Amino acid sequence: MSDSDSGTARPITIVGDPVLHRPCAPVEEFDDRLAGLVADMFASMYAAEGVGLAANQIGVPLRVFVYDCQDDDGVEHVGHVVNPVLAEQPPDRRQLDDSAEGCLSVPGPHHELARPDYARVTGVDLHGEPITVEGTGYFARCLQHEFDHLEGRLYIDRLSKRQRKNVLAEMERMQEEKAKRAAEPTETKEAKEAKEAKETKTAGTGKSSAPAN
């Protein structure tokens, strides 16, 4: 996570912001500003508890994305790609995975979306040196999801009109509930700890199997 040590978390852009709905421009200058952008992207991704982030998700229309994502074998992949190109799927690697997918720019809901179970991305790093990243399972989904962002496409744009409408309605509902909870009187620390202790005894908890990116 060293890439985020000097970065500053920025607000995440939300569906409807024009920067999310048009293709991003190629990076042409490999300088300290690019390094600072990548650091801010990592910081923003970690602050939002995501597994991937494209530059336009913090309002910068450049072709860069970062990731810190596990594959289906539990192997963690951390890095960045500048000016990425998503390789065409080889015939023997076109198996589809219809797992649930979420997005920091569509906060809250997840929806099943079929994507190839393998992805290969080529591009360059902060210094302009060629790099290749490939992955399977959830990491492959992450790579394709972030590349889509740079093309001006959200995952909900790949859903049917009805599915997209339902996801956006669920997002609005969840955001309204979140705002309502934030406006309620804050529990005292003691009352909150007692409540959490009681809930822990009665039910286990766990993270969602479909992190957002």
Residue 126 domain-assigned?
yes
Number of domains in the chain: 1
pLDDT tens-digit series, residues 176-198: 998 999 888 765 556 666 666 66
Residue 131 domain-assigned?
yes
Whether residue 63 contacts residue 26, with contact meaning beta carbons closer than 8 Å, is answered with: yes
pLDDT tens-digit series, residues 41-59: 999 999 999 999 999 999 9
Residue 25 domain-assigned?
yes
**Residue 111 marked ligand-binding:** no
Q: What is the pLDDT of residue 94?
A: 80
Residue 175 domain-assigned?
no
**Total-model pTM:** 0.84
Q: What is the pLDDT of residue 142?
A: 98
**Residue 142 marked ligand-binding:** no
Residue 16 domain-assigned?
yes
| Predicted confidence band of residue 2 (pLDDT cuts 50, 70, 90) | very low
Q: Which residues are catalytic?
A: 146
Residue 88 domain-assigned?
yes
**Residue 145 marked ligand-binding:** yes
* Helix ranges restricted to H, the chain: 32-47, 137-150, 161-183, 189-202
pLDDT tens-digit series, residues 109-164: 999 999 999 999 999 999 999 999 999 999 999 999 999 999 999 999 999 999 99
Domain assignment of residue 122, given as a range: 2-162
Whether residue 157 contacts residue 167, with contact meaning beta carbons closer than 8 Å, is answered with: no
Residue 184 domain-assigned?
no
| Predicted confidence band of residue 5 (pLDDT cuts 50, 70, 90) | low
Residue 91 domain-assigned?
yes
Whether residue 63 contacts residue 83, with contact meaning beta carbons closer than 8 Å, is answered with: yes
pLDDT tens-digit series, residues 73-118: 999 999 999 999 999 988 888 899 999 999 999 999 999 999 999 9
Q: What is the pLDDT of residue 3?
A: 54
Q: What is the CATH number of the domain that holds 131?
A: 3.90.45.10
